[in-house]
Amino acid sequence: MSLPEPTTDVGRAGLAAIVADPARAVVAVDFDGTLAPIVTLPEDARPVPGAVDMLTALAARVAAVAVVTGRGAGEVVALGGLDAVPRLRVLGHYGLEEWYDGDLRSPDPVPAVDEARMRLLPVLAQAPRGVHVEDKQHSLVVHTRPAADPAGALGRLTPVIERLADELGLEVVPGRLVLELRPPGVDKGIAVRRLLDEVDAAAVLYAGDDLGDLAAFGAVEEARNRGLLGITVASVDPALGDAPAELAARADLVVAGPAAVVEFLKGLV
C-alpha cells in the first residue's frame, strides 16, 4: 500500500523517519473526527472499521501509541473497545487523565466546574431545541449540532458562556459546533509534550480534526525545533462543512476523514 505524500518537506522527513525506525516513533491520534466519525450525539461515536486492529498493529511496532482526547479516558476506552489494544495509552481530558493497561489515573474535578454545571441550567433552558450539555466531569461541553440552526445557536450562546467562564476562572475552548468550559492550563499540546518526554523518541506523528488539536500540532513543531522529526495530519471529512480551516492549513498532510486516517495508518504499518 502506497502512502500519501505530505505537502511539506518537514512532513516528508517526519514520515520517512517513522518508516525507517518505527521503534523510536510515537504515534498519537485524536478520537472524535479522527478515529471515529463526527456524530450528533457524543455517546453514539464509534471508531471506523479497522481502527482497533490498526492501533494493535501499530502498538507492536512503535515506541508508543496514544489516543489523545478531550473526552474522559475511560469513556473513550469503552466506546472504542480500546482495551483490546496492548500498550495503548489513552490521555483523556486533554491529558488530565491517563488510561494504560486497565489502570485509570484521574484527579478530582475542580470546584468551578461544579458551579458551572449548575449555572448552565438556566442558560440551556432558554437555548434552541437540541442544544445540550455533555458532562465530562472535568469539563462541560455545550453542543449545538442538533439545533435547527447550529451555527446561529453557537453564535448566540458564545458570549453568555464566555462571561460565565470568566466569572468562574474557567476557559472556553471552541470546537466543531461546540463550546467547552474547562480548567485553564490543560491542552493536547501539554499531553503530547509529556508523552514525548517519557519516551526515547526520534520521530512523532499526530493526527487530529479540530481546533483543540492545534496545540498538539504546536507540540510537534516544537519537537522538530529540538531535533526530533515529525508529521502533523489533519482529518477533514468532505461530507461535513465545519472542519476548521486553520488545522488543514497548518498540517503537513490532509486526509479525507476518519476512514482515510485509518487507511493511512494501516499503510504506515
9-105+186-268: CATH class: alpha beta
Start and end residues for every CATH 3.30.70 domain found in the chain: 111-182
Rounded to two decimals, the pTM is: 0.84
Residue 253: what pLDDT? 98
Residue 29, C-beta contacts closer than 8 angstroms, at least 6 positions apart: 35, 66, 67, 68, 206, 207, 208, 261, 265
Start and end residues for every CATH 3.40.50.1000 domain found in the chain: 9-105+186-268
Q: Write out pLDDT tens, residues 171-189.
A: 998 888 889 998 888 899 9
- Looking up cell 487530529 gives 208
Q: Write out pLDDT tens, residues 122-150.
A: 998 989 999 999 888 888 989 999 999 99
Residue 198: what pLDDT? 92
Model confidence at 29, pLDDT cuts 50, 70, 90, reads very high
Nearest CA to 71 out of 131, 144, 143 is that of 143
Percent of the chain whose predicted confidence (pLDDT) is above 70: 100
Residue 236: what pLDDT? 96
Residue 173: what pLDDT? 85
Calculate the average pLDDT of the chain.
93
Residue 1: what pLDDT? 60
Beta-bridge partner residues of 25: 203
Specify whether the CB–CB gap between 191 and 94 falls below 8 A: yes
CATH number of 111-182: 3.30.70, 1.10.3470, 2.60.40, 3.40.1350?
3.30.70
Q: Write out pLDDT tens, residues 77-121.
A: 999 999 999 999 999 988 889 999 999 998 888 899 999 999 999
Q: Which helix (H) or strand (E) segment is 208 a member of?
A: strand 203-208
DSSP-derived pairing of the beta strands 253-255 and 229-235? parallel
**CA distances to 5, 23, 73, 199 from 62, in Å:** 20, 4, 21, 11
Q: Is 197 strand, coil or helix?
A: helix
Residue 81: what pLDDT? 96
Cα gap 50→5, rounded to integer Å? 22
Q: Of 53-62, 120-129, 230-239, which gets the smallest average pLDDT? A: 120-129
